[in-house]
Amino acid sequence: MLNNKTILITGGTGSLGNALTKRILSKYKNIKKIIIFSRDEFKQYNMEKSFPEKRFNCIRYFLGDVRDLSRLEQALKGVDYVIHTAALKQVPAAEYNPFEYIKTNVIGAQNLITACINQRVKKVIALSTDKACSPINLYGATKLCSDKLFISSNNLSGKNGTIFSVVRYGNVFASRGSVIPYFINLNKKNKAITITDKKMTRFNISLEEGVDAVMWALKNMKGQEILVPKIPSFKIIDLAKAINHKAKLKFIGVRPGEKIHEELISNSDSQLTIDVGKYYLILPNKNLYKRYKTYNTLRKDFIYRSDLNQNFLNLSQLKKLIENFEKK
């Protein structure tokens, strides 16, 4: 799929960008070029230690910001595929700096769309978040706007132009900003593990599963779909017990902009969602169903939310995930 092709990853120095780069280099020996596009020179410097240009002569590191349309136009010359992971993501920071998030997550998305169409990029995958589903905070609202822009842009690019799709999932297990490292650190200091709500649940996806979803989408995308992987859930209180079943727990209440349960497909979305096996696809209208050879529609009351999930991780499974994380 990627042999003799050029791929650009925005926000490419992040955890997903690093994992995608590793997967692509190992699987596609004849890839033409991987362009890592990001604004942080220090992160590019660190990434280059893992993937030096001297050893991997297909890699290029481009400094730039998705807010800068002219730089995107320059970086996208000759690019076949784009994976868009660049975003501002911290919920509290979004509430304090709202327009900065709009500049990057919304205007930046539109800049990328415009540049991709102008440069005749073949396929674009944009990374979304659970917070874009029924958003209650500004970060989620900006990502919902971004999703809508990417999906609707298929109407702008023409019949044989760029096709755009979205991949949506929640926080990656033990990634930067997740509760796992925070809980482990509190436990090591013999402090109480702070939990916002006893009922809180979350979806669980590994970094490798995130990469799998992006690669599946890149291979199978038709355009206009939002891909949602089928993943297990866990209870936050079980996560704390898996770290230390004797740990003291302190319940502090839900923070502003925080949901008790993660939601990836709302009931409204589910009316236009199909099941294609490992993934759900949210589509703009039912006329697009016929593009897929095999699929199942969902029941009318379906909601894909972490507390309503049929698949939950038990304590032993959570312990194993934590052990694997601590070994790294």
Average pLDDT of the segment spanning 269-298: 96
- Report whether pLDDT(256) > 90: no
Question: Using CA atoms, how far apart are residues 23 and 313, in angstroms rounded to an integer?
Answer: 26
Over range 230-243, report the average pLDDT.
95
Please name the residues in contact with 189: beta carbons below 8 A apart, sequence gap of 6 or more.
none
Same domain, 156 and 28: yes
pLDDT value of residue 171: 82
Angle between helices 179-188 and 315-327 (to 10 degrees): 80
**226 and 181 assigned to the same domain:** yes
184, pLDDT greater than 70: yes
Give pLDDT, residue 30: 94
Maximum distance among all Cα pairs of the chain, rounded to whole angstroms: 60
For residue 319, give the 3-state DSSP assignment.
helix
Q: 328 vs 6, which has greater pLDDT?
A: 6
User: For the chain, what is the domain count?
Assistant: 2
- pLDDT confidence of residue 169: 95
Is there a single domain that holds both residue 89 and residue 9?
A: yes
Mean pLDDT confidence for 299-323: 95
Pick the catalytic residue from 131, 230, 235, 259: 131
pLDDT for 328: 73
212 within a domain of the structure (yes/no)? no
Residue 110 DSSP code? H
Question: Is 273 part of any domain?
Answer: yes
Please give the pLDDT value at position 309.
Answer: 95
Closest by alpha carbon to 100, among 65, 73, 129, 124? 65
DSSP code, position 132: G
Q: Known catalytic residue: 131?
A: yes
Residue 266 sits in the same domain as residue 126: no
Distance between CA 288 and CA 310 in Å, rounded? 28
- pLDDT score for 310: 92
Average pLDDT for residues 179-199, to the nearest whole number? 92
Tokens 């209180």 belong to residue: 237
Query: Which pairing describes strands 233-235 and 201-203: parallel, antiparallel, or unpaired?
Result: antiparallel
pLDDT tens-place string over residues 93-131: 999 999 999 999 999 999 999 999 999 999 999 999 999
- Of the chain, the end-to-end C-alpha distance in Å amounts to 31
Write out pLDDT tens, residues 8-37.
999 999 999 999 999 999 999 999 999 999
Instruction: Give the structural domain span for 251.
Output: 171-206+219-328
Whether 244 and 315 share a structural domain: yes
Distance CA 232, CA 212 (A): 15
Kind and range of the H or E run holding 106:
none
The reply to whether 186 and 276 lie within a common domain is: yes
